[in-house]
Structure 1
Amino acid sequence: MTDSLTNARAGDDRPLQDPARGHSSATLSEASGLAVALCPEIRSLWAGARLCGPAFTVQGAGGDNLALHHAVLQAPPGSVLVADLGGARFGHWGEILTVAAQHRGIAGLLIDGGVRDTSETEALGFPVFSRNNSILGTRKHFRGVFGRPVQVGGITVRPGDLVVGDVDGVVALPQADAERILDRADTRVAQENELMKQLREGHSTLDLYDFEAAGR
């Protein structure tokens, strides 16, 4: 999976998620021109968490976390577990699975469902983005389905899509468009840096964006 996300721009084999770490979720969303932003109810479990990596998709069942146990064993190192649990308010993930995932080299978890053990997960430094927190326990019956498109936060996420999450939210960039989006994000950041330079020199946002000429 990771091999398919290579940085052809640089003429080397660096994964695309490396340059993605330099951009915010907001910048990537705006640069994409696509519906890539997950709903704002999907938030980081702890302040300062940063999620970045190719998606390993998991279709689970609400109130059952057996699929996540299997996913930890199947997902390649560096991948982000992207799990559809239907938004269910159960503690599908906690400290035990976090330790197991870190040992396997998994980069983080994006889950449309509930999690628990917030302080323990923060202490371990493992990025988790979820719909809710819950201490309700789970069953262990459904083994899950892996490697298929899933619905998370109102967005379809496919295996290998580039997932980036930060304090502002989460985006899932289609694998086929990731390089183009990153190029556009680079350009956007350069333009914004120039705008901020001019603002510090005394220009106004109305002038720089030419709002008055447009009658706004």
Structure 2
Amino acid sequence: MPDPARGYSSATLVEAAKAAIDIDPAIRATWQGARLIGPAFPVQGAGGDNLALHLAVAAAPRGSVLVVDAGGAAYGHWGEVLTVAAQQRGIAGLLIDGGIRDTSEIQQLGFPVFARSAAIRGTRKDFPGVLGRAVTVGGVVVSEGDLIVGDDDGAVALPTATVPAVLDAADARVAQEQEYFARLRAGERTLDLYGFGAPYRGDRG
């Protein structure tokens, strides 16, 4: 697992992967600056029921990101109580295709949550769900152990087998971008960097 301090952005990983690893952009960080990184612990839940989330908090390994299919339902599947419980268990964050509530309290606690909506409607506690089996969240299939990375721009899920190669490609991309920044500050144009053809390279504009 990569060191979170290396700071891979979701956009860099999408470009490096050259694959559809980006989760539906409607599933977003619930507070600005939230940073999500860790191995996925998939949870198949049900819209309007959060028993599976309580069970997942008790069962997930430390450092895991809970990745929950709640059918996109606009209910408060997760809130302050589950957040405190998850932090005590060492869980790294939550990504849920569904609603959550207590967003201000979650931000104050500094717990990264990515969700489709904020919703105050209460939930049942009847369906135990399925833990640890692959789920589809935001159009991406996520299996246990896949690398989840999220930031202000969105979230991605990297299949475990691809992680080393994608991170190497991400390192190369970051190095190239640093070179581009230096050249731009030295007076070059984006037209020069990307080698656009002669019709676009006049001095106007």
Q: What interval of TM-score do these two structures reach, taking the shorter chain for normalisation?
A: over 0.9
The percent identity for this pair of structures is: 66
Q: Deviations over 1:145-184 (max 9, x none)?
A: 0111101111111110000000000000000001110000
Which residue of structure 2 lines up, in the alignment, with residue 202 of structure 1? 187
State the number of aligned residues. 201
CA distance in 2, matches of 1:180, 1:159: 19
For residue 186 of structure 1, report the CA deviation from its aligned partner: 0.2
Q: Equivalent residues in 2 for 1:2-81 (5 A)? A: 16-18=1-3, 21-81=6-66
2:191–2:200 contact (8 Å) kept in structure 1 = no
For residue 17 of structure 1, report the CA deviation from its aligned partner: 3.2
Out of 123, 127, 133, which is 2:108 matched to?
Answer: 123
1:21/1:214 Cα in 2 relative to 1: closer, same or farther (>3 Å)? farther
1:56 is paired with a residue of what secondary structure? strand
What TM-score, normalized to structure 2? 0.95
CA distance in 2, matches of 1:185, 1:101: 30
1:44/1:202 Cα in 2 relative to 1: closer, same or farther (>3 Å)? same
1:89–1:134 contact (8 Å) kept in structure 2 = yes
Out of 134, 140, 145, which is 1:155 matched to?
Answer: 140
CA distance in 2, matches of 1:143, 1:125: 27
For residue 38 of structure 1, report the CA deviation from its aligned partner: 0.5
Q: Which of structure 1's runs of 4+ aligned residues deviate more than 4 A?
A: 213-216
Which residue of structure 2 lines up, in the alignment, with residue 89 of structure 1? 74
Q: Deviations over 1:92-132 (max 9, x none)?
A: 00000000000000000000000000110000000000000
Q: Residue 88 of structure 1 aligns to which amino acid in structure 2? A: A
Please, which runs of 5 or more residues in structure 2 have no aligned partner?
Answer: none
For residue 76 of structure 1, report the CA deviation from its aligned partner: 0.4
Is 1:175 aligned to 2:175, yes or no? Answer: no
What TM-score, normalized to structure 1? 0.90
Which residue of structure 1 lines up, in the alignment, with residue 83 of structure 2? 98
1:17 is paired with a residue of what secondary structure? coil
CA distance in 2, matches of 1:215, 1:202: 17
Q: Residue 196 of structure 1 aligns to which amino acid in structure 2? A: F
Superposed CA RMSD in Å reads 1.3
